[in-house]
Structure 1
């Protein structure tokens, strides 16, 4: 095979993917429908104010009022903050300012007010509404907004160490899995601290059973290396979680029978059907990721509960006892 032909086969692959895949369509001059609506509303308001008050108010005073209003409308329509349109950011800030900051867990009952003799300052805490209502035995999560979801835990692979041809094959297989999705899916990549003491103890415990003394010595040195590595550095392991959703049909949700027990039974049937669909999609995702060489498994009820607990309390350290052979462990460096 000639060198030119080999370079042609192993040519570097470049794929452009937008950072925001959910960005709205541009309608006119690079502006979205929402931005055009804000600009049109600002222009209409300014025109109405000018035509209404121009005979009554001096022109300099009218300009002094219209210029800030026009500038605010343009800034709300064009400016962005942390990747979010400024108008959406302002609405989210107002919504956050009006909501209660303290939330407590309740058993479906409202928060009881304090007694009359207690002078409480501020607002009462609001009940904590978790997005998951229940976890089934098969690992399917019943979402509060309707439907179910299944969590898949996957590993990682060394993409940069592959050749360009292997990278192209991996991207093609991963692209086919993404194109096969017919429901929303969420991919979460997180770094967690890893504890290698369990692996070091396992090697030290089984080292005397090795047939060769040199192998036993090498195993002891490797166990000591793992112990020193965990003591001197803060090791992190990357974990990838994929959430596959499944929703009940619109007919089953919209239909409301006259008898309440019939409505409950129909809701249970629709929920079970959605769980079966979500589990089937999770199995297909596991098969597709396994074809990539990535270890993947759908979490059962116990593992899903642990994953949700770690997501709800990220500040608490959750050490991983051990790591798999294909897991990538990195060293966390602190910036000074």
Structure 2
């Protein structure tokens, strides 16, 4: 083929808008919240000027107004960790007012008897976002909805040709456009331990038929052990959380057991819809050559346990909630 007919495909570039969740700018690049804070600061300064102006000298009045203006401007313009400083301040105040201790309790914690002196505040009940994990892996949320977790792999996008990249983006875009419920894409970096793999290779190396293979396996096991000892290794995990909404039934006079049955039926239907959407997400990712699986109850519980205490060793030999404990295992 002559050079005239040869052409190279240009690298694919997709323009993604940044800060799509940011509030709209109303005036001079400021949002409505920022304008309200500045207007309140201006009104406070005007009131101080009219009240204290005839009574105090100008230097004293300036010394009073400057901190007020500075505080208003900082609250309106400054940001901390991507959050407006006024919201960050309110969140910090709410955090300081709340009790830090949490206990597992079905209702409010009862105070101790009057004769028992207690220092500090009473602990508050621990409220987790997940109320229960069903046998099919569906999470029953405390807010009343359901959720299903899909664990997905990754692919090397940069090593694909521009045509392949365009095809991958098109398939992924079609899946995103097919979503009609909130979906969360969570990317976790979890520590990985290569000790078990190195021990497995060392244990099975003598069974290899050739001494050279045994030596190579032993050297590879030593390399894995040194790699895990010298570096903090991380593995990337992608989780897709698909939520489902339980339809609210219109209020009607009914017996309590009928209301509970109606709510259970609605939750089961929402769980079935969430599982179907999770299966569709698994098929869509399979078209991208990305391995994915819908997590069952055991894997979903393990994922949530790891998320609550990342990096800590998981407990072993725990009884399931429905297991009957007949005896205690002696050491």
Normalising by the smaller structure, the TM-score range is 0.7 to 0.9
Pair 1:186 & 2:184 matched: yes
> Using a 3 Å threshold, how does the CA distance of structure 1 residues 185 and 115 change in structure 2: closer, same or farther?
same
> Using a 3 Å threshold, how does the CA distance of structure 1 residues 49 and 115 change in structure 2: closer, same or farther?
same
Partner of 1:168 in structure 2?
Answer: 166
Residues 125-159 of structure 1 show CA distances to partners (whole Å, capped at 9, x for unaligned) of 22111110011121111111121111111111122
**For the Cα contact (< 8 Å) 1:151–1:299, is it kept in 2?**
yes
> Using a 3 Å threshold, how does the CA distance of structure 1 residues 30 and 223 change in structure 2: closer, same or farther?
farther
Q: Distance in 2 between matches of 1:278 and 1:237?
A: 28
Partner of 2:218 in structure 1?
Answer: 224
Residues 56-82 of structure 1 show CA distances to partners (whole Å, capped at 9, x for unaligned) of 554443333222212211111110011
How many residues get paired? 310
Partner of 1:324 in structure 2?
Answer: none
CA shift for structure 1 position 203: 9.6
Partner of 1:245 in structure 2?
Answer: 243
Q: Higher mean Cα deviation, 300-309 or 176-185?
A: 176-185
**For the Cα contact (< 8 Å) 1:149–1:244, is it kept in 2?**
yes
Q: Higher mean Cα deviation, 45-54 or 134-143?
A: 45-54
Partner of 2:60 in structure 1?
Answer: 61
Q: Distance in 2 between matches of 1:118 and 1:6?
A: 88
Residues 295-314 of structure 1 show CA distances to partners (whole Å, capped at 9, x for unaligned) of 00111111111111111111
**For the Cα contact (< 8 Å) 2:149–2:295, is it kept in 1?**
yes
SS in structure 1 of the partner of residue 147 of structure 2? strand
Q: Distance in 2 between matches of 1:157 and 1:4?
A: 34
Residues 173-210 of structure 1 show CA distances to partners (whole Å, capped at 9, x for unaligned) of 222222222222222222331436348737975995x8
Specify every segment of 5 or more residues in structure 1 that has no aligned partner in the other structure, as ranges: 320-336
Q: Distance in 2 between matches of 1:6 and 1:316?
A: 56
Pair 1:309 & 2:305 matched: yes
Partner of 1:333 in structure 2?
Answer: none
Q: Higher mean Cα deviation, 195-204 or 166-175?
A: 195-204
Partner of 1:152 in structure 2?
Answer: 150
Q: Distance in 1 between matches of 2:220 and 2:295?
A: 29
Aligned counterpart for 1:269 among listed residues 265, 268, 271: 265
SS in structure 2 of the partner of residue 297 of structure 1? strand
Partner of 1:122 in structure 2?
Answer: 120
Residues 95-128 of structure 1 show CA distances to partners (whole Å, capped at 9, x for unaligned) of 111111121222x033243455544332222211
TM-score, normalising length: structure 1:
0.81
Q: Higher mean Cα deviation, 55-64 or 166-175?
A: 55-64
Q: Distance in 2 between matches of 1:225 and 1:167?
A: 38
**For the Cα contact (< 8 Å) 1:197–1:227, is it kept in 2?**
no
> Using a 3 Å threshold, how does the CA distance of structure 1 residues 16 and 257 change in structure 2: closer, same or farther?
farther
Q: Distance in 2 between matches of 1:236 and 1:4?
A: 48
Q: Distance in 1 between matches of 2:103 and 2:6?
A: 64
Partner of 2:44 in structure 1?
Answer: 45
Partner of 1:94 in structure 2?
Answer: 93
Higher relative contact order (CA 8 A, sep 6+): 1
Partner of 2:136 in structure 1?
Answer: 138
Partner of 1:281 in structure 2?
Answer: 277
SS in structure 2 of the partner of residue 190 of structure 1? strand
Q: Higher mean Cα deviation, 308-317 or 290-299?
A: 308-317
**For the Cα contact (< 8 Å) 1:200–1:226, is it kept in 2?**
no
> Using a 3 Å threshold, how does the CA distance of structure 1 residues 69 and 158 change in structure 2: closer, same or farther?
same
**For the Cα contact (< 8 Å) 1:133–1:143, is it kept in 2?**
yes
Q: Distance in 1 between matches of 2:252 and 2:46?
A: 49
Q: Distance in 2 between matches of 1:204 and 1:3?
A: 57
Q: Distance in 2 between matches of 1:6 and 1:78?
A: 54
Specify every segment of 5 or more residues in structure 2 that has no aligned partner in the other structure, as ranges: 316-331
Q: Higher mean Cα deviation, 276-285 or 54-63?
A: 54-63
Partner of 1:71 in structure 2?
Answer: 70
> Using a 3 Å threshold, how does the CA distance of structure 1 residues 260 and 229 change in structure 2: closer, same or farther?
same
